[in-house]
Amino acid sequence: MRINRSLARWVAIPAVCFITTCTPLLAQPPSLDVPASSLKNGLTKTDEDKIRQYVKYYIGIIRNAKNDKQLRNGRVGLVEGYRRYGDSTYFQYTCARISAEEGKAALKEFTDPARQINLAMAFSSMSQVSIQSVLEAMIVHENPAVRYFGWRGYYGIRRSVLAQDAQYTSKMFASIAKAARDEDSPPVFGQMLQVMDLTSSGAGVDAKTLTDAQARLVAILDKHWRKWCLQVRAGDDEMSAACGVGVRLLPKLAPGVIAKDKKNKAKLLQMTINMAMAAAQAYQVAEQRIALENQTAEAKLAAQRVLEANATLLVDCEAALNALAATNEKVITRALTGAGVPPPRWAQVQREVLDWADELKKEGVVAPPFPPPKPPTTAPATATAPATAPAAGK
């Protein structure tokens, strides 16, 4: 995803303040030796106790860390422990479950963002459904970096969750719906959208379950799509980057919703056309702002970011339209990049979006519902930078 600028804000400031509660640690990490018979046939209580002591030890390293190196040692210890017996599902499932049990309490306890982030990074690497409970706590955390890694962890288990019973799947869909409604951080939002990528069923998932899941996800997208279009149209370049994930999702989810009702093809096409026009209008304002003579270098740089983000989003929209309509047009792409396009370029881009809508009338598509934007006359107000978090450790 092309949203690293905000992620960089979360990890750019050195971790200058570590408030520690001195909890005695063992001089050496607890043993994680598990007999081969347990790895093959199932873990015993003794094995589980070993894992719990190991997990507690490395959470303690993060708790008592006084610098980035110690934070990293704690995070890496947790991940390496989980990966110690990578060919044993029994071990990894149990290690993830115990990590979730111990991690939820630690996540509530830690108030320092650097500790929170390192703990979240570790749990996001444990791709077993038994980690779900701590991921649920992470995706509603006040720290956006923790929420980001919560959704990254969910991405790793999404197909496995789909193969489980309703206890697991209902939680995932409810959490996606809530984040679609409430999430205000574009990088977190974009990572959440990636969890919706259910292009293949995975082991243990039948075709009907996959089709139903795809239909539920499109319903969530459709409910909030206009709100996201308006954010893009308003010139939020990070939202434009995140919405590219959503646009690329639509053709992947199409088989499920079209199989349920062929009329849903028109819905997906309309959603894509609407996002394309939102991006085209943001592109227009950015191009006009760059051309103004009274702009500061900072304002022009911000406008350039908006221009580039929406150019990319427009290319994504055209690719999605081609996939949904089974065509191979490049008219928007040529308007954006081709030589000989008369200025202003934005006017040709918008004409091509409208031509797409006109061509798709036979599919039930109508013109995008957005009025022309007002041309900019002055620099936009300086946006307030989002809250940052200390470094997560190297």
Q: Is it the case that residue 390 has pLDDT exceeding 50?
A: no
Residue 391 belongs to some domain of the structure? no
The residue segments making up the domain with residue 91 are 1-197
Both 34 and 98 in one domain: the answer is yes
* DSSP, residue by residue, 86-110: TT-HHHHHHHHHHHHHHHHHHHHH-
Both 230 and 323 in one domain: the answer is yes
Residue of 8, 3, 5 lying closest to 246 (CA atoms): 3
Select from 197, 225, 250 the last residue of a domain.
197
Question: Residue 16 — pLDDT band, cuts 50, 70, 90?
Answer: very low
Residue 353 belongs to some domain of the structure? yes
C-alpha span between 356 and 331 (Å, rounded)? 9
Both 225 and 94 in one domain: the answer is no
| Number of residues assigned to the chain | 394
C-alpha span between 279 and 229 (Å, rounded)? 8
- 17, burial (CB in 10 Å: exposed 0-12, middle 13-18, buried 19+): exposed
Residue 2 belongs to some domain of the structure? yes
Q: What angle do CA 136, 195, 312 make, to 5 degrees?
A: 135
- 14, burial (CB in 10 Å: exposed 0-12, middle 13-18, buried 19+): exposed
Q: What pLDDT score was predicted for residue 6?
A: 57
Q: Is it the case that residue 289 has pLDDT exceeding 80?
A: yes
Residue 74 belongs to some domain of the structure? yes
Both 23 and 159 in one domain: the answer is yes
Question: Residue 26 — pLDDT band, cuts 50, 70, 90?
Answer: low
Find the radius of gyration of the CA atoms of the chain: 24
Mean local confidence (pLDDT), 204-233 = 93
Residue 385 belongs to some domain of the structure? no
- Share of residues in the chain with pLDDT > 70 (%): 88
Both 122 and 7 in one domain: the answer is yes
Q: Is it the case that residue 201 has pLDDT exceeding 70?
A: no
Question: Residue 27 — pLDDT band, cuts 50, 70, 90?
Answer: low
Q: What pLDDT score was predicted for residue 313?
A: 98
Residue 181 belongs to some domain of the structure? yes
The contacts of residue 77 (CB under 8 Å, 6+ apart) are 29, 57, 58, 61
Both 241 and 303 in one domain: the answer is yes
Question: Residue 241 — pLDDT band, cuts 50, 70, 90?
Answer: very high
Q: Which two tokens stand for residue 329?
A: 């047009």
Both 177 and 34 in one domain: the answer is yes
Q: What pLDDT score was predicted for residue 386?
A: 39
Q: Is it the case that residue 362 has pLDDT exceeding 50?
A: yes
Residue of 156, 161, 138, 157 lying closest to 148 (CA atoms): 138
Residue 209 belongs to some domain of the structure? no
Question: Residue 394 — pLDDT band, cuts 50, 70, 90?
Answer: very low
**Mean of the per-residue pLDDT values of the chain:** 90
Model confidence pLDDT, tens digit, residues 108-163: 999 999 999 999 999 999 999 999 999 999 999 999 999 999 999 999 999 999 99
Both 235 and 103 in one domain: the answer is no
| 3-class state of residue 15 by DSSP | coil
Q: Which two tokens stand for residue 377?
A: 């006359």
Question: Residue 220 — pLDDT band, cuts 50, 70, 90?
Answer: very high
Both 258 and 224 in one domain: the answer is yes
Q: Is it the case that residue 206 has pLDDT exceeding 80?
A: yes
Question: Residue 10 — pLDDT band, cuts 50, 70, 90?
Answer: low
Q: What is the DSSP letter of 44?
A: -
Residue 316 belongs to some domain of the structure? yes
Both 82 and 135 in one domain: the answer is yes
Both 224 and 193 in one domain: the answer is no
Both 66 and 106 in one domain: the answer is yes
Q: How many domains does the chain have?
A: 2
Q: What pLDDT score was predicted for residue 378?
A: 66
Query: Poorest-confidence range of 70-74, 211-215, 283-287?
Result: 211-215
